Amino acid sequence: MQARLVYAGCMALWLILSALAALSIASRSLLGAEQQFNNQSQQLTEQLKQRLLTNETVLDSYATFSALDHRNEIRQKHPFVLQLLRRYPQITTLAHIERVPQSRIDGYNRQLQREYGAGYRLRAYARPSAARPLPAQDEYFPLMFAEPQSQGNLQLVGMDASQQPQLREALQETLNSGRTTLSRQLRLPDGEAGYVLLRSIDKHQASGPLELQPRHFAMLFIRADSLLPPDLILPPGMAVSVRHRDDPLRPPGGQALLLGNSHPDALERLLFPRLETSQLLGGAGQPLRFTLSWQQGWAQIGLFEWVVWLLLSLLLGSGLALASYSFVRSNNSRRLRESQLFHLANHDRLTGLANRNLFYDRLQHAISRVDRSGKRLALLFLDLDRFKPVNDTYGHIAGDRVLQLIAARIQDVIRNEDTVARLGGDEFVILMEDIESNREADKVVARLKQAIQMPYPVDQHRIMVGVSIGIAYYPEDGLLIDELLAVADRKMYGNKQSPNRQSETVA
């Protein structure tokens, strides 16, 4: 039982030390992962800022070009515009918007029909074939030109940008502030999620009369997925999100830019930290919120760390196993030595029976139990008859052998709960507990005499000895141990003087 406790304690200690080692190794890995997270965040932030600056520069170039010759721009393709689109593939469309008052709608419609066909006219945000009536308002903001002149972009011509909520907000912001404005996320003509970057072409004066307000606007469509590098590979558990400041994480009109996989299990969320940083980029004109998060997990602990931990765990387990085995073995050896010393101190070396010390101790305990239970006990004193001639005739070795055989026969006769002891020489004593009557002790005495008086084969000799037995009962014959032994000894001598005793030695 003690050995099991030692082994169980060593196992628990091994688990604790292995967990601490794993925590230490994991901490180093997580520190490296935190540095990687900071580097990734800085790199993506710089790339996103550069992309926003590039988009604004392209829009400024297009606005400058449109200001020089916006009339020709709406009628023909320009190599400069095509060159911009080829160089910056994240831009899907470059467009020109004109502010048209209510009084000029008829002239504007005639201009569209003259340049693009009879089906074109000022309309809400829809295909020309599915046009719906425009709501009455003071002025409109139709698209006059969209480059490249694809089928999808031609359908945008004549569309009133103020009828689209995201574009209307961007137009209003541009009119109020005079700066470049990024719209909230919307669906681009090709169906992809994206943004519109808008700025005025004319000189802006927000506090002036209506005719000093800008009448022409340059606009470019940007794909949302182009804001980040196309070859971006994120480690497991890392996710990056880019969205307009005023957009929810998942806009109703499209999917925000969300890359990576951040779906850890419950154990990873419990054991590993989560890193997250969020920044607002682009200033007031292009307010994009960049969020980078990384839920640390098992994947952040590399193969080298796992191997180191496994080797360290094995070394700890081997050391603890060796230490526990040595401790248990040493403890068992000590207990064995103590048991041997106890046996030598309390047993007869020749016969292995209890000696006087152990017998006195058991007799004292038996008397204490009898006092509590009210039962009786018997003390049998045995003395061998004519044993001295055995030593004189056959030697002490043969005599010792006879004593060993006698001890074995006595143990075969008595009950398991009885105690037999050798007091010295050829004297034995038996303690019988919980006896009901004297007849029980008499029957044992008869069996003992029969067994002891049978011949003993020793070195091709048949040796016979007799035995005299005296009985003392507790509490009738005495209350003390010495009194009981004295009574049993006296009765034994009385039995030895009986003319019917038999104690012959036959060779």
CATH number, domain containing residue 169: 3.30.450.350
CA angle 359, 361, 363 (to 5 degrees): 65
- Using alpha carbons only, give the angle 89, 94, 97 rounded to the nearest 5 degrees: 165
Would you state the pLDDT for residue 44?
Answer: 92
DSSP-assigned letter for residue 159: B
- 178: region left, alpha or beta (phi > 0 left; psi from -120 to 50 alpha): left
Residue 420, in any domain of the structure = yes
Q: Closest by alpha carbon to 189, among 218, 220, 162?
A: 220
Task: Among 162, 194, 218, identify where a domain stops.
Answer: 218
Query: Are the C-beta atoms of 502 and 384 separated by less than 8 Å?
Result: no
Looking at the domain assignment, is residue 84 inside a domain?
A: yes
- For residue 63, being part of any structural domain is answered with yes
Q: Is 351 domain-assigned? A: no
CA-to-CA separations, 450 to 226, 319, 446, in angstroms, rounded: 112, 62, 6
**Does this model's pTM top 0.85?**
no
Give pLDDT, residue 126: 56
pLDDT at site 502: 42
**How far apart are alpha carbons 110 and 130 in whole angstroms?**
19
- Provide the CATH number for the domain around residue 360: 3.30.70.270
Number of H helices, E strands in the chain: 12, 18
List the one residue out of 161, 152, 172 whose CA is nearest residue 125: 161
Assess if residue 289 is contained within a domain.
no
The edge-to-edge listing of strands for the beta sheet with 238-244 is 257-260, 238-244, 288-295, 274-281
Instruction: Please give the tally of structural domains in the chain.
Output: 2
pLDDT tens, residue order, the chain (507 aa): 677 888 888 899 999 988 888 878 877 777 888 888 999 999 999 999 999 999 999 998 888 887 775 544 444 556 778 888 888 888 888 888 988 998 898 888 888 888 888 888 888 865 555 556 778 888 999 988 888 888 878 888 888 988 888 899 999 998 888 889 999 988 887 778 889 999 998 765 444 444 467 888 999 999 888 888 888 888 888 888 888 888 887 766 556 677 776 677 788 788 888 889 999 988 888 899 999 998 888 777 778 888 888 899 999 989 988 988 888 888 889 888 988 888 888 899 999 999 999 999 999 999 888 877 777 899 999 999 989 899 889 999 999 999 999 999 999 999 988 999 998 889 999 999 988 888 889 999 999 999 999 999 998 889 999 999 999 999 888 888 889 999 999 998 887 766 554 444 333
d(CA 453, CA 382): 13
331 domain-assigned: no
Residue 166 included in any domain = yes
Residue 47 in tokens: 């790339």
Task: Find the domain containing 420 and state its range.
Answer: 356-496
- Of 190, 218, 246, the position where a domain reaches its end is 218
What is residue 432's predicted lDDT score, i.e. its pLDDT? 93
The string of DSSP codes covering 300-351 is GS-HHHHHHHHHHHHHHHHHHHHHHHHHHHHHHHHHHHHHHHHHHHHB-TTT
Q: Which segments of 224-305 are extended strands (E)? A: 238-244, 257-260, 274-281, 288-295
Final residue before a domain boundary, out of 179, 203, 218: 218
Q: How far, in Å, CA of 447 to CA of 402, rounded?
A: 18
Cα-Cα-Cα-Cα dihedral sign, residues 223, 224, 225, 227? positive
CB contact burial 327-358 (16+ within 10 A = b; e otherwise): ebeeeeeeeeeeeeeeeeebbbeebebbbeeb
Cβ atoms of 178 and 206 within 8 Å: the answer is: yes
Residue 295 lies in a domain: no
Q: What is the token pair recorded at 20?
A: 């601490």
Q: What is the pLDDT of residue 380?
A: 94
Q: Which of 498, 468, 496, 472 is nearest to 486 (CA)?
A: 472
Residue where the block lists tokens 């689209």: 164
